[in-house]
């Protein structure tokens, strides 16, 4: 199985590149951000809970996020691989993911981290806020809080996989096609 973590700060292009990756490699896409937005649009209890964190640019608590993720993985036993987008965002989530995959006799193949400077991220997200309707993209202070949560809570996930020699940095500035070329250079030898 090709089990990939697509990693990087908010606005680094994970969603865009995830689409390219699933089109080429045919693996299952799991985005926890998309799952929370789906719950929210259906006004479920989970959606309401997630909203109270998302609106502030904070992380939804690990227990809730991990349970939701595990359910989605368990619902797809025949996937030939999975791309995790927006998960894991804490070391506790990474440990839970590794344990889940180990229980299925598989593991994370690699983590690809899209590297983009902070001011470029803020500009991209504000721009996305004009068209996406995402509340968390409209306010610069919420955007900056998400980036600082990334540096505080999420960046250690890179180090966690780096210690296992599984983390790779990719330059995330440039054309979408050029960035996808760099991603393919990393993934093609693995499939
Ligand atoms: P972005 O990468 O642009 O911040 P996402 O769509 O991945 O956007 O996530 C939006 C919000 O959903 C996050 O700011 C956070 O509140 C919540 N969220 C998504 N994934 C997770 C996660 N793995 N753990 C905790 N909260 C999450």
* 81-85 and 28-31 strand pairing: parallel
How would you write the pLDDT of the chain (191 residues) with one tens digit per residue? 999 999 999 999 999 999 999 999 999 999 999 999 999 999 999 999 999 999 999 999 999 999 999 999 999 999 999 999 999 999 999 999 999 999 999 999 999 999 999 999 999 999 999 988 888 999 999 999 999 999 999 999 999 999 999 999 999 999 999 999 999 999 999 99
Whole-angstrom Cα distance, residue 15 to residue 101? 23
Note down the domain range covering 16.
Answer: 2-190
Question: What is the model's pTM?
Answer: 0.94
If we measure between CA atoms, which residue out of 141, 127, 96, 94 comes closest to residue 13?
A: 127
Best substitution site from 32, 68, 139 to test ligand 1's pocket, by max atoms within 8 Å of Cβ?
Answer: 32
User: Which run of H or of E encompasses 6?
Assistant: strand 2-7
Whole-angstrom Cα distance, residue 69 to residue 65? 6
User: Which run of H or of E encompasses 28?
Assistant: strand 28-31
Please name the residue whose Cα sits nearest to atom 1 of ligand 1: 10
What CATH number is associated with residue 16?
3.40.50.300
Contact (Cβ atoms closer than 8 angstroms) between residue 88 and residue 97: yes
Question: What is the set of active-site residues?
Answer: 14, 89, 128, 134, 146
Count the domains in the chain.
1
Q: Give SS3 for 133.
A: coil
């Amino acid at each position: 199985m090709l089990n990939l973590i697509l990693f990087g700060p908010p606005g680094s292009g994970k969603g865009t590149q995830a689409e390219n990756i699933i089109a080429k490699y045919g693996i299952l896409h799991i985005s926890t951000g998309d799952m929370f937005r789906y719950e929210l649009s259906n006004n479920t209890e989970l959606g309401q809970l997630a909203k109270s964190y998302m609106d502030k640019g904070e992380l939804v608590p690990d227990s809730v996020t991990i349970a939701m993720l595990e359910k989605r993985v368990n619902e797809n036993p025949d996937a030939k691989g999975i791309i995790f987008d927006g998960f894991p965002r804490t070391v506790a989530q990474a440990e839970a993911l590794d344990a889940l995959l180990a229980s299925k006799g598989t593991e994370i193949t690699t983590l690809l981290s899209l590297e983009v400077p902070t001011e470029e991220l803020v500009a991209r997200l504000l721009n996305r806020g004009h068209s996406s309707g995402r509340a968390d993209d409209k306010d610069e202070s919420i955007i900056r809080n998400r980036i600082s949560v990334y540096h505080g809570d999420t960046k250690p996930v890179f180090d966690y996989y780096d210690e296992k020699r599984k983390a790779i940095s990719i330059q995330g500035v440039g054309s979408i096609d050029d960035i996808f070329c760099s991603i393919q250079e990393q993934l093609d030898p693995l499939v």
